[in-house]
Amino acid sequence: MENLSKLLRRRVSSVESPAVETVPDEALGRLPLGRPVAVIDIGSNSVRLVVYEGLVRSPTPIFNEKVLCGLGREVASKGVLAKDAIEKALSALVRFRALCGVIQVERVHAIATAAVREAKNGPAFIKDAASACGIAIDVLPGPREAQLAAAGVFAGFYKPDGVVGDLGGGSFELVEVAGDRSKNGQTLPLGGLSLVDSSEHSLDKAKKIVRNALSDSPALSNLKDRIFYAVGGTWRALARLHMHHTGYPLHVTHGYAMETDAALEFCDYVQRVDPDTLSDIEEISAGRRPLLAYGALVLREVLRAGKPSRVVISAFGVREGLLHEQLPPEERARDPLMAAASALNLLRSRSPRHGEELIGWTDAFMASTETEETAEEKRLRHAACLLADIGWRAHPDYRGEQSLNIIANAAFAGVDHPGRAFLALAVFYRHVGWKEEPSDLLRKLATERLLERARVLGTAMRVAYLASASMPGVLPRAPMRVEKGLLVLRLEGELAALSGDRLKKRVNQLGKLIGRKSEISTN
């Protein structure tokens, strides 16, 4: 046991930055990023602490806790934060401070949004809140909140294009995004709690307030046939409700998409019924339920005014945007999906370098087949190569199933749900073969084109892993290409001894799948 401990410590030391002190019992399941970073978000409805593994392109939370305090529920009508809400928030902040100490957070960022900036007693509350959590608190102006919401979508999506709408408890931010640039940011007093208060609990009055506020929005005027990125807890709750209402197979809110007509129909439905009567309402916290109808109302009016092609839910928002802005420009420019896949490859694969070599190996194979491949399909294939071996520690009979579940439900950014299905299925087929099938529900998320490509890639990876024993240095010397209509795996020179009946069978299986005869060349 002592020797194993020393070995593990040496492993940590070999990947740690020299500036980071090695902790003897440091978990090897975490990236060597130093100590975690945290964000305390004092919102109009909830107060939340999120601790992230580190400041990276694709941040992973290692702790996440929220307390529904309702700070903003009376700001519109009375102009102040409610006393009981203040007490609840301060109590939460004291706990969050202690948690950050326990987790050994390196740096804590604390922000407050609409309710605090609008309330007469906001400054007094912030003074007490800063004392409770032990750090200064940045009260975000509306335009700054919109800017950070846009940055959150930049963090969570690959080349976003459309309009971000961040619905909080006190305010609603709208901002147009394209690539890595934003414009036409604005903040409106349409947050869920604010709207309930200002409309005196009347949906009819609320509709008039929302429609009037959105009538001249510069961002919405540029939304037609683009994507509306819905940010905020109420809209994530609506998405979860819609998933269960429709029997959707993948319970991951980030990247969940609804066509505009379907979203409009569901918004109407949510406004008509008492949320507590819905059979699947257990998915939504009790504190969030009263805001569902108002969130649906705002979403419906946005869709009516902006006419986007679809709604896409973003689990990334102001908190992630705050961290994203702190990254160096070259890190912000990285593909978030590839960053996340690279991290899992490093943490879980037998050989991370083998996963990287697999990218080049499949590049040559795909080019030789003369199969048309879009830039997005190539990007997904590269990510699948990095994820191909993350399930190797499972029992051989369950590696495909376990890998599929990990990938389908991972905290990825920068991939839509059909893309998730492709990644999960490609690695599933890599383990079990293309004739085996997982549940029909997951396969329905992928297009027929993606499904066929997942089978081909998975079958090609079965060849690669058997030929190389999952070790680096082999694939660059063992190309597999279609040559004059024949699929050829070249194992020449010292690699010739790697040929065998089992490997020939896998090459033949791939050949049949792509409609080619096949052979292993050992000349």
Whether residue 204 contacts residue 292, with contact meaning beta carbons closer than 8 Å, is answered with: no
Whether residue 361 contacts residue 320, with contact meaning beta carbons closer than 8 Å, is answered with: no
Q: Could you tell me which residues are beta bridge partners of residue 520?
A: 489
Same domain, 252 and 394: no
7: tokens are: 């070995």
Confirm whether 401 is domain-assigned.
yes
Confirm whether 21 is domain-assigned.
no
Q: What is the pLDDT of residue 387?
A: 98
344: tokens are: 């899992």
Alpha-carbon dihedral 294, 298, 303, 304, rounded to 10 degrees = 90
Contacts of 199 (CB under 8 A, 6+ apart): 205, 206, 209
Confirm whether 1 is domain-assigned.
no
204 phi and psi angles, rounded to 5 deg: -65, -45
Question: What does the alpha-carbon distance between residue 365 and residue 377 come to, in Å, rounded to a whole number?
Answer: 15
| CA atoms 353, 417, 380, 521: torsion sign | positive
Same domain, 134 and 155: no
Confirm whether 455 is domain-assigned.
yes
Which SS3 state, helix, strand or coil, does residue 424 take?
helix
Confirm whether 15 is domain-assigned.
no
Q: What is the CATH number of the domain that holds 502?
A: 1.10.3210.10
Q: What is the CATH number of the domain that holds 72?
A: 3.30.420.40
Q: What is the pLDDT along the chain (523 residues), one digit of tens a residue?
A: 334 334 334 444 444 444 444 444 556 788 888 899 999 999 998 999 999 999 999 999 999 999 999 998 889 889 999 999 999 999 999 999 999 999 999 999 999 999 999 999 999 999 999 999 999 999 999 999 999 999 999 999 999 999 999 999 889 999 999 988 999 999 999 998 889 989 999 999 999 999 999 999 999 999 999 999 999 999 999 999 899 888 898 989 999 999 999 999 999 998 887 766 655 555 666 666 778 999 999 999 999 999 999 999 999 999 999 999 999 999 999 999 999 999 999 999 999 999 999 999 999 999 999 999 999 999 999 999 999 999 999 999 999 999 999 999 998 899 999 999 999 999 999 999 988 888 777 788 989 999 999 999 999 999 999 999 999 999 999 999 999 999 999 999 999 999 999 999 999 999 999 999 999 999 8
Please state whether beta strands 517-521 and 486-490 pair in parallel, antiparallel, or not at all (unpaired).
Answer: parallel
**Burial annotation 180-218 (CB, 10 A radius, 16+ → b, else e):** eebebbbbbbbbbbbbbbbbeeeeeebbebbeebbeebe
- In angstroms, the Cα distances linking 124 to 46, 83, 128, 146 are 19, 12, 7, 25
Same domain, 242 and 185: yes
Question: What does the alpha-carbon distance between residue 332 and residue 325 come to, in Å, rounded to a whole number?
Answer: 8
Q: How many domains does the chain have?
A: 3
Q: Could you list the residue range(s) of the whole structural domain that residue 118 is in?
A: 31-139
Q: Could you tell me which residues are beta bridge partners of residue 37?
A: 52, 107
What are the start-end ranges of the H helices in 247-291? Answer: 260-272
Q: What is the pLDDT of residue 281?
A: 56
Helix (H) or strand (E) holding 329: helix 329-332
Global confidence as pTM? 0.90
Confirm whether 224 is domain-assigned.
yes
Q: Tell me, what amino acid is at 150? A: A
Whether residue 95 contacts residue 101, with contact meaning beta carbons closer than 8 Å, is answered with: no
Same domain, 46 and 123: yes
188 phi and psi angles, rounded to 5 deg: -130, 150
Same domain, 204 and 346: no
Question: In the listed set 103, 124, 139, which residue is the last one of a domain according to the structure?
Answer: 139
Confirm whether 6 is domain-assigned.
no
Same domain, 403 and 478: yes
Confirm whether 26 is domain-assigned.
no
Same domain, 119 and 183: no
Q: What is the pLDDT of residue 28?
A: 73
Same domain, 366 and 513: yes
359: tokens are: 């990218």
Question: In the listed set 264, 295, 322, which residue is the last one of a domain according to the structure?
Answer: 322
Q: Tell me, what amino acid is at 153? A: V
First to last CA, the chain: 48
Whether residue 80 contacts residue 120, with contact meaning beta carbons closer than 8 Å, is answered with: yes
Nearest to 416 by CA among 238, 178, 156, 57: 156
Please state whether beta strands 517-521 and 480-483 pair in parallel, antiparallel, or not at all (unpaired).
Answer: unpaired
Same domain, 84 and 211: no
The overall longest dimension of the chain from CA atoms, in Å, is: 85
Same domain, 365 and 504: yes
Same domain, 131 and 161: no
Whether residue 178 contacts residue 226, with contact meaning beta carbons closer than 8 Å, is answered with: no
Same domain, 483 and 430: yes
Question: In the listed set 95, 122, 139, which residue is the last one of a domain according to the structure?
Answer: 139
55 DSSP assignment: S
- In angstroms, the Cα distances linking 453 to 217, 421, 447, 464 are 42, 12, 10, 16
- In angstroms, the Cα distances linking 276 to 50, 241, 270, 332, 433 are 29, 12, 11, 42, 45
Q: What is the pLDDT of residue 139?
A: 97
- Which residue has tokens 């792509």? 514
